[in-house]
Structure 1
Amino acid sequence: MTIRFDGRVAIVTGAGNGLGRVHALELARRGAKVVINDFGGSRDGKGGSSEAAQKVVEEIRAAGGSAIANGANVCDFEQVQAMVAQAKAEFGRVDVLINNAGILRDKTFSKMEMADFRAVMDVHLMGSVHCTKAVWEIMREQNYGRILMTTSSSGLFGNFGQSNYGAAKMALVGLMHMLCIEGKKNDIRVNTIAPIAATRMTEDIFPAAVLEAVTPDQVTPAALFLVSENAPTKATVSAGGGSFSAARIVDTAPVYFRRDQVSPEALAEHFAQIADWDTQRGYEDSNQQVQVLLQAAMAGLKA
């Protein structure tokens, strides 16, 4: 079955360049009306111009699609609210939000200024929070919504010199976990993508041969699947170079110690058993994880 977005309205942040641009073009090609949001700043978030967003709008319109440009800074909640109001006034609804806007200010933690840490958190985390909050009630009233967060392997697994970026990107996974629970009754599905692509964010990170192999168009299929009508929810999909994988938070089976046995030394002695990843499992929510720990504790008390 072909995935289409006819009658759907999508907002894509950071859509003037790179991944966001390709996401927006493909959404439009498949029938969506698209709000092209881009602050127009440099890779580190400085400056601002609506020129890039307008060019994408012109591309979409030239191909027969429908789109409008918006230069809101996702760090500014009032500007984001105005963007969503513009989308509603122009198109009547908002069905899809792709939180793609991002900046980089890489340095080791010891050398990083707090202003640089905060700036990256503001764009990636708070920018996604602002945009999601601004569309949330619209989606609840419609009983339909698809939201995509953009995480990174830096957040999921760590990367040298990106403490600000990694912290923000992992926070988005936690935000997804909460929102997919709260949005379930209104058919709001929330997912996360961890892309690897040749963009201005990565142009000086990967060698030329790798950049040629990981073009943005090889990530966009995953993004569109994750915001489609039959999308899953609470999925984290890694995508790059035509390869795709799924990531999730897992927990090992609990190991119980009697009250008279519990000590730091006992945990050190048995840590290999505690961290036995052959026993790993995922949970639908935190209540399930807590319940498993408590069940192990109660069973241990009765033994």
Structure 2
Amino acid sequence: MTLDFTGRVAIVTGAGGGLGRQHALALAARGARVLVNDLGGAVDGSGGAASAAQAVADEIVAAGGQALANHASVTDEGAVQAMVQQAVDAWGRVDILVNNAGILRDKSFAKMDMQDFRLVVDVHLMGAAYCAKAVWPHMQAQKFGRIVMTTSSTGLYGNFGQANYGAAKLAQVGLMQTLAIEGEKYGIHVNALAPTAATRMTEGLMPQEVLAQLSPEAVVPAMLVLAHDSAPTRTILCAGAGGFEAAHITLTQGIHLGVGADAPEQLAARLAEVTARGAGERVPRSGAEQAEVEVGKALAARGAR
């Protein structure tokens, strides 16, 4: 099956360079009309210029595709609404949103300025939420939508010096989980991509020989799968250097201890059983399933008495 995007309208944020540019070019090459968004600022979010987004839009048009440029900040809710309206006015719909915009303000947590913490969360989390909120009614009305969040191995597993970035990136997964549930009846599929790619944001973080393996182009196939008509929903795909994996937030089988006075001591003594991986581990369909599992254990324990 060829992943064709003919007739689809896509918005890609942070698409003026690096991974976002590759996303925009790939969608356009496969037939999508693409709104290229980029503030045009530095890696830390400072500054801004329309030239970055315009250059990528021009590149798409020169290759025979259709594209528009937009240099709104994803932290500006009004500007994001106007960006989505720009796509709708030009092409009548919006089918795909790739939330790719991001910044870095790395520092160990002890030394981190909390304004830098807030700014990173604003760009990654609130930016993704503003964009999703703006496209949501259009996707509901047309009974179709594909939203790709950009999470990170830092959000999923942690990384020294990136508490702000990691918190914001895992928050995007939480947003994805609920939006996928709420969007299901409207044909809106919401997924997350955890890329490993050499871009401006990774310069200086890895040895050059490692970076050479991590071309942004190698991540694009995962984005295309998550943005296509055939996409899954509530899936976290990891991608880098030609490798692809899935990450899952799972619930172990665990144990039932009851609510006796010695429950804390029993839990401490049997913690290894609670955290053990293997048989009975599951990926819950929703947060309510955790409660179902726990109440089920309690009822089973009561019936065994």
Query: Post-superposition shift, 1:289?
Result: 2.0
Q: Secondary structure at the match of 1:110?
A: helix
Q: Structure 1 pair 161/93, CA: closer, same or farther in 2 (3 Å)? A: same
Matched residues in 1 for 2:163 and 2:113: separation? 11
Partner of 1:75: 75
C-alpha distance in 2, partners of 1:114/1:157?
A: 22
- 2:296 alignment counterpart: 295
Q: Report 1:166-181 matches (<5 A).
A: 166-181=166-181
TM-score when scaled to structure 1? Answer: 0.98
Q: How big is the shift at 1:203?
A: 1.2
Q: Using the alignment, how far apart are the partners of 1:276 and 1:219 within structure 2?
A: 32
Offset, 1:290: 1.2
Residue segments in structure 2 that go unaligned for 5+ positions in a row: none
AA matched with 1:4: D
Q: C-alpha distance in 2, partners of 1:193/1:163?
A: 19
Letter in 1 for 2:6: D
What residue number does 2:56 align with? 56
Report the residue type matching 1:152 in the other structure. S
Residue matched to 1:15: 15
Give yes or no for contact 1:254–1:292 (8 Å, CA) kept in 2: no
Identity value in percent: 55
- 1:162-215 CA-to-partner distances (Å, cap 9, x unmatched) read 110000000000000000000000100000000000100001111111111110
Query: Quick check: 1:190–1:234 contact (8 Å CA) kept in 2?
Result: yes
Report how far residue 261 of structure 1 moved.
Answer: 6.2
Paired letter, 1:230: S
Please give the root-mean-square deviation of Cα atoms over the aligned residues, in Å.
0.9
- Higher mean alpha-carbon deviation, 285-294 vs 55-64, is at 285-294
Instruction: Give the counterpart letter for 1:51 in structure 2.
Output: S
Q: Deviations over 1:231-271 (max 9, x none)?
A: 00000001000000000100111311144364321111100
Q: After TM superposition, what 4+ stretches of structure 1 lie above 6 angstroms from structure 2?
A: none
Q: 2:237 aligns to what SS in structure 1?
A: strand
Q: Equivalents in 2 of 1:208, 1:259: separation in Å?
A: 54
Partner Cα distance (2:275, 2:89) in 1 = 53
Amino acid at match of 2:126: M
Q: What is the alpha-carbon distance in structure 2 between the residues aligned to residue 301 and residue 133 of structure 1? A: 45
| Aligned 8 A contact 2:143 2:186 in 1 | yes
TM-score under structure 2 length normalisation: 0.98
| 1:118 lines up with 2:118 in the alignment | yes
**Residue type of the alignment partner of 1:6:** T
For residues 226 and 124 of structure 1, the distance between their equivalents in structure 2, rounded to whole angstroms, comes to 19
Could you say if the C-alpha distance between residues 252 and 69 of structure 1 is closer, same or farther in structure 2, counting changes exceeding 3 Å? same
Q: Is the 8 A contact 1:254 1:293 kept in 2?
A: no
CA contact (8 A) 1:152 1:195 kept: yes
SS at 2:294's partner residue? helix
CA distance in 1, matches of 2:89, 2:51: 22
Q: Give yes or no for contact 2:180–2:190 (8 Å, CA) kept in 1.
A: yes
* Counterpart for residue 159 of structure 2: 159
Gaps of 5+ in 1: none
Query: What's the offset of the Cα at 1:161?
Result: 0.8
* Residue of structure 2 equivalent to 1:34: 34
Question: Quick one: distance in 1 between partners of 2:55 and 2:13?
Answer: 15
Q: Which residue number in structure 2 is paired with residue 149 of structure 1? A: 149
Counterpart-to-counterpart distance in 1, 2:254 and 2:67:
52
Q: Distance in 2 between matches of 1:185 and 1:95?
A: 16
- Letter of the 2:162 partner, please give it: Q
Deviation for aligned residue 1:92: 0.7
Cα deviations by residue, 1:258-296 (Å, 9 ceiling, x for unpaired): 443643211111001111111321111112221111000
Aligned residue pairs, count: 303
SS at match of 2:178: helix
Q: Secondary structure at the match of 1:278?
A: coil
Please give the alpha-carbon distance, in whole angstroms, between the structure 1 residues aligned to 2:54 and 2:74.
Answer: 17
- Secondary structure of 2:110 counterpart: coil
What is the distance in 1 between the residues matched to 2:297 and 2:268? 20
SS across alignment from 1:190: strand
* Corresponding residue of 2:184: 184
Describe how 1:98-137 pairs up with structure 2 within 5 A. 98-137=98-137
1:91 equivalenced with 2:91 (yes/no)? yes
3-state SS in 2 of match to 1:277? coil
Paired position in structure 1 for 2:140: 140
